[in-house]
Chain A
Amino acid sequence: MDIELKEKEEYIINMGPQHPSTHGVLRFELCLLGEQVKYVIPHCGYIHRGIEKMCEHLTYPQLVHLTDRMDYLSAHINNEAVALCVEKSMNVEVSDRVKYIRTILSELTRIASHQLWWSAFGMDLGALTTFFYGLRDREKILDIFEESTGSRLTQSFITPGGLMGDVHPNFQKRVAEFIKYFRKKLPEYDQLLTGNVIFRERTKGIGIMSKEDAIDYGVTGPSGRGSGFHCDIRKIEPYSAYPFVEVNEVTLTEGDTYARYLVRIKEMWESLNILEQLVDNVPAGPIMLELKAIKAPKGEYYQRVETARGELGVYIVSDGGPSPARMKFRSPNFSNLFIINKLAAGHKIADLVAISGSLDLVIPDIDR
Chain B
Amino acid sequence: MAFLKTIREVGKYFHDIYSGVASLMRGMKVTGSYFTRPGSIVTQRYPENRDTLKMFDNFKGELMLIHDENNLHSCNVCNTCARKCPNGSIEIIYKKVEGADGRSKKILDKYVYHLDTCSFCGLCVPACDELALKFDQKFEHAVFDKRKLTKVLNKPGSSSKTTNE
Contacts and interface: CB of A to CB of B under 8 A. Distances in A.
Interface string A167-209: 0100000000000000000001001110111101000000000
Given A132-B42, A132-B43, A165-B126, A65 B121 contact: yes
B126 A188 contact: no
B135 A150 contact: yes
Contacts of A196: 23-24, 27
B11 interface: no
A192 B20 CA distance: 13
Given A62-B84, A149-B58, A191 B120 contact: no
A197 B119 contact: no
A147 interface: yes
B110 interface: no
Interface in A62-94: 62-66, 69
A151 B123 contact: no
Contacts, number: 76
A195 B27 contact: yes
B27 A191 contact: yes
B23 A150 contact: no
Nearest to B56: A147
Interface residues of B, number: 26
A contact residues, range:
20 to 34
B125 to A, nearest CB: 9
A337 B44 CA distance: 33
Given A129-B31, A151-B60, A154-B120, A63 B24 contact: no
A58 B30 contact: no
Interface in B71-126: 84, 86, 119-123, 126
Interface of A: 58, 61-66, 69, 129, 132-133, 136, 139, 146-151, 154, 156, 164-165, 168, 188, 191-193, 195-198, 200
